[in-house]
Amino acid sequence: MNITIDAENKLNDRGFSTSKIIQFTYDSDECCPLCKKYGEAEHLYAMLYTYKYNDVCVIINRCRVCNQIYINTYDAQYVSSNRYKNYRLISSEPKKNENIDFEKVITDLSPDFVEIYNQSHTAEEMKLNHIAGMGYRKAVEFLVKDFAISEKPEDSDKIKAMLLSNCINNYVDDARIKNLALKSAWIGNDESHYTKKHSDRDITDLKNFIQAMVYFIGMYFIEKDAETISPA
């Protein structure tokens, strides 16, 4: 729904705009970035100013659902003297970081993997793709090594110190987990190194492989548990 509000005029250098208040028309049905509900914004304050040669309107809102405060920034387009309208929402802050939940078997096996994966996810949400890619690569290393250590705890120190590829080849027997771990490491290395060897693959493939690896590791432990049941 388009509404028109009063915005404080901070376009100081504009000869055509002398009023202290500018009318700003925009679509008020935007989503709250914190609770994700639509159309429940109560605008508290608005201001028009120039940022990097663009006119923008900043609106401070209160969400009627979660009762939290957030800030939307819009491109502002000149309509006529003392009137502007929006044509694009630039940002909605603060962003809420939502962690990915993993099954208990994975959080017990490798809490470091879960923490590193979620930090990488946060980096990706913030459009920090290079950092996210390296982070996912590190997460793979912790998941695979903690899995290997759980299989061969007596080799723990050796596993921690060895190259990831050697760890996969020597300590991961399950063919599906091995394949996914190896390919995740390859794609992950591409995210960490100067030159890329698999140019047709990217962070999305890496995340898909990690997701599948997490699934098969979970299944592996469930099957191991089932093996402990003896005939009655």
Tell me which residues touch Zn ion (CB under 5 A): 32, 34-35, 63, 65-66
What is d(CA 8, CA 19) in angstroms, rounded to the nearest whole number?
Answer: 9
Exposure of 88 in the CB half-sphere (CA atoms within 13 A): 6
Helix ranges (DSSP H) in the chain: 104-109, 111-125, 129-151, 156-161, 164-171, 175-192, 203-227
What is d(CA 128, CA 34) in angstroms, rounded to the nearest whole number?
Answer: 20
User: In the complex, what is the shortest distance from the CB of residue 96 to Zn ion, in angstroms, rounded to a whole number?
Assistant: 10
Q: Which of 94/111 has CB closer to Zn ion? A: 94
User: In the complex, what is the shortest distance from the CB of residue 74 to Zn ion, in angstroms, rounded to a whole number?
Assistant: 18
User: In the complex, what is the shortest distance from the CB of residue 127 to Zn ion, in angstroms, rounded to a whole number?
Assistant: 22
User: In the complex, what is the shortest distance from the CB of residue 40 to Zn ion, in angstroms, rounded to a whole number?
Assistant: 7
Q: Is the dihedral angle over the CA atoms 9, 6, 24, 66 positive or is it negative?
A: positive
What is the DSSP-derived secondary structure letter of residue 163?
A: -
Q: Which of 41/106 has CB closer to Zn ion? A: 41
Q: Which of 32/159 has CB closer to Zn ion? A: 32
Q: Which of 34/214 has CB closer to Zn ion? A: 34
